[in-house]
Amino acid sequence: MGGRLDYRSSVTSSVHLRRVGIGLEIATLAWNVVGVVLLGFLAYRSASVALLGFGLDSLIEIGASTVVIWELTGSSEQRQKIGLRLIGWAFVLLAAYLLVQSAVALLSGHHATPLVGGIGWTALTAVVMFMLAWGKWVVGRRLENPVLLTEGRVTLIDGILATSVLAGILLDFTLGWWWADPIAGLVIVFYAAREAAHIFRDDVQGGSSSV
């Protein structure tokens, strides 16, 4: 009898955690939908490579959140593998785009026009993304769900990128260091490339061990 109660309690807890995980992803999705529109406008007004890259990161985060919501509605191993691969390719695209855009801006001496709106949004986004990343880490650990944990790292990187973009805009705004804007875009390239390599390495090792 006690075993049945423990099993039911475990199932109930798992269902609750999945709902919390989906809620975190919906919150991330909603925030980034607003962010894509706002950052697109701010990037156009300021001609900022960093804000443009941040907007692209928000777009990729929308895709990653959609993948996790899809995965959390079913728990098959195949869904987890597909979800992880899609997130991995999102990292690759983000790193490649930011590398090219930042390099072009540095080589051409591109000068952005820092805006107060960009400073405010990136500062607020950094706080929100770090909080969401922490929540996904807690829920992902309890569920032992690799897709939610991996997407939580995407959200963490989003927060790191927001912080680096904020620093770049502030340096440009206060000191006139124009090169700080594209340098801020390069900061995320390292993290994105590392996460993509981690995902694909684990995927290959998992595939080899299953053979």
The CA distance from 23 to 185, in Å, is 29
- Name the band, by pLDDT with cuts 50, 70 and 90, for residue 10: low
Angstrom CA distances, 2 to 5, 7, 8, 14, 44, stand at: 5, 9, 10, 18, 62
Q: What pLDDT was estimated at residue 34?
A: 92
Q: Given a cut of 90, is residue 132 above it in pLDDT? A: yes
Q: What pLDDT was estimated at residue 184?
A: 74
Please compute Rg for the chain using Cα positions.
19
Model pLDDT for residues 52-94, shown as the tens digit of each residue: 777 877 887 787 778 777 777 765 667 667 777 877 887 888 7
107: buried, middle or exposed (CB in 10 Å: 19+, 13-18, 0-12)? Answer: exposed
Q: What is the mean pLDDT of residues 101-126?
A: 82
Q: What pLDDT was estimated at residue 88?
A: 82
The tokens for 119 are: 């400073």
The CA distance from 81 to 72, in Å, is 13
Q: Given a cut of 60, is residue 33 above it in pLDDT? A: yes
Which residue is listed with tokens 């912080």? 163
Alpha carbons within 13 angstroms on the beta-carbon side of residue 169 total 28
Q: What is the mean pLDDT of residues 165-178?
A: 83
Q: What is the mean pLDDT of residues 148-172?
A: 84
Q: What pLDDT was estimated at residue 126?
A: 93
The CA distance from 177 to 184, in Å, is 12
Q: What pLDDT was estimated at residue 7?
A: 42
Which residue is listed with tokens 């959609």? 66
Kindly give, in sequence order, each residue whose CB lies less than 8 Å from that of residue 64, ignoring residues fewer than 6 positions away. Answer: 86, 87, 90, 151, 154
Domains of the chain: 2-210 (1.20.1510.10)
**In the chain, what percentage of residues exceed pLDDT 90?**
10
What's the mean per-residue pLDDT of the chain?
79
Q: What pLDDT was estimated at residue 198?
A: 80
